[in-house]
Amino acid sequence: MYAVIKTGGKQYKVAAGEKIKVEQIAADVGQEIVIDQVLAVGTGAELKVGTPLVAGATVKATVVSHGRHDKVRIFKMRRRKHYQKRQGHRQNFTELEISSVNG
């Protein structure tokens, strides 16, 4: 069984036993969280799509760790104008282990 969930403004296809990295969630390591924004639930060829959410569907996950992604380097330059700007960014993430999908 798999589900399409929405968290942090993004959508993820998840199944039980998978590990995913999502936008940072305010939860402690080892804490179990319940994601109730489930957009679709499927088993094999059968798919139940919500309007916009599937009623009563939940996904249980455990927080494995918190961390930061690799640095993304931003470089802006205007030729012949003596303008250069360097910038970097590291996005925070939370790693989740999906324990069950209830549809």
- Nearest CA to 60 out of 28, 7, 6, 16 is that of 16
Query: What was the pLDDT predicted at 58?
Result: 96
Query: What was the pLDDT predicted at 65?
Result: 97
Q: Contact at 8 Å (CB) between 91 and 66?
A: no
Distance CA 37, CA 73 (A): 33
- Nearest CA to 99 out of 3, 4, 16 is that of 16
Query: What was the pLDDT predicted at 103?
Result: 83
Give the start-to-end residue ranges of the domains of the chain. Answer: 2-102
Query: What was the pLDDT predicted at 7?
Result: 96
Provide block-wise average pLDDT over 10 residues at a time, the chain (103 residues): 96 97 97 96 93 95 98 98 98 98 91
Query: What was the pLDDT predicted at 44?
Result: 87
Predicted structure pTM score? 0.86
